[in-house]
A and B are shown apart, each in its own frame.
Chain A
Amino acid sequence: DAKTTQPPSMDCAEGRAANLPCNHSTISGNEYVYWYRQIHSQGPQYIIHGLKNNETNEMASLIITEDRKSSTLILPHATLRDTAVYYCIVSGYNDMRFGAGTRLTVKP
């Protein structure tokens, strides 16, 4: 079973930051938080992942709370092409299970 809870949908204005929350209150000490997105019916695209420290790459930033029970994915300047379903995943070493995800709609 998925170990994450995400809002089913969110809207964001183009050019603004998109902040996508995720709750993972049962996360274990050796489990990572991953974010993927899926545009239409394409294969999921990796965004970022982290264990306990905040992470940043060319696509996004990942903020993980100190107790690791929740995290936020930040897309700093959302564009229309960022409209997708975003999945927050808690993963151990054996498999990766997807939750329901958040459908982000970026509006002009």
Chain B
Amino acid sequence: SAVISQKPSRDICQRGTSLTIQCQVDSQVTMMFWYRQQPGQSLTLIATANQGSEATYESGFVIDKFPISRPNLTFSTLTVSNLSPEDSSIYLCSVGRPGREKLFFGSGTQLSVL
């Protein structure tokens, strides 16, 4: 199993600013995923962040808007840049090996942009 600590749990930001979300795992993991959940919607995969390689972004998500760092096997950050009200969502990190084992999820970061 894996225990994920995600920070901050919530934040209110002004438009045009940026927010960096941290994801700390209590064990070494190869695969880490970042998701967005817009109000009332399901989870949408933003990117896959594997240690030692550049993050792989899903269609509709770009590195300039959502830069990701993965400096080691227990930590990652997602930055949401140039915030607009449309970025108001819950952002979640997840770790695990899909298709082999279950994915574990952090508790999420509730972002509100004014």
Query: Chain A residues with Cβ under 8 A from B44's Cβ?
Result: 98
Cross-chain contact B43 with A46 (CB below 8 angstroms): no
Assess whether B75 is interfacial by the CB under 8 Å rule. Answer: no
Query: Chain A residues with Cβ under 8 A from B97's Cβ?
Result: 93
Q: Which of B42, B48, B92, B100 contacts A43 (CB 8 A)?
A: B92
Contact residues of A: prevailing secondary structure: loop
What is the number of residues of chain A that contact chain B, defined by CB distance less than 8 Å?
25
Contact with B along A65-98 (1 / 0, CB 8 A): 0000000000000000000010100011111111
Tell me the nearest residue of chain A to B100, going by C-beta: A93
Assess whether B103 is interfacial by the CB under 8 Å rule. Answer: yes
Q: Which 5 A-B pairs have the closest CB atoms?
A: A43-B105, A93-B99, A98-B43, A91-B98, A46-B102
A residues contacting B by CB (< 8 A) are: 2, 30-32, 34, 41-46, 49, 85, 87, 91-101
List 14 A-B residue pairs with CB atoms under 8 Å apart, sorted by A's residue number.
Answer: A32-B98, A32-B99, A41-B108, A42-B108, A44-B92, A44-B105, A46-B104, A49-B102, A91-B98, A93-B98, A95-B98, A96-B98, A97-B45, A101-B42
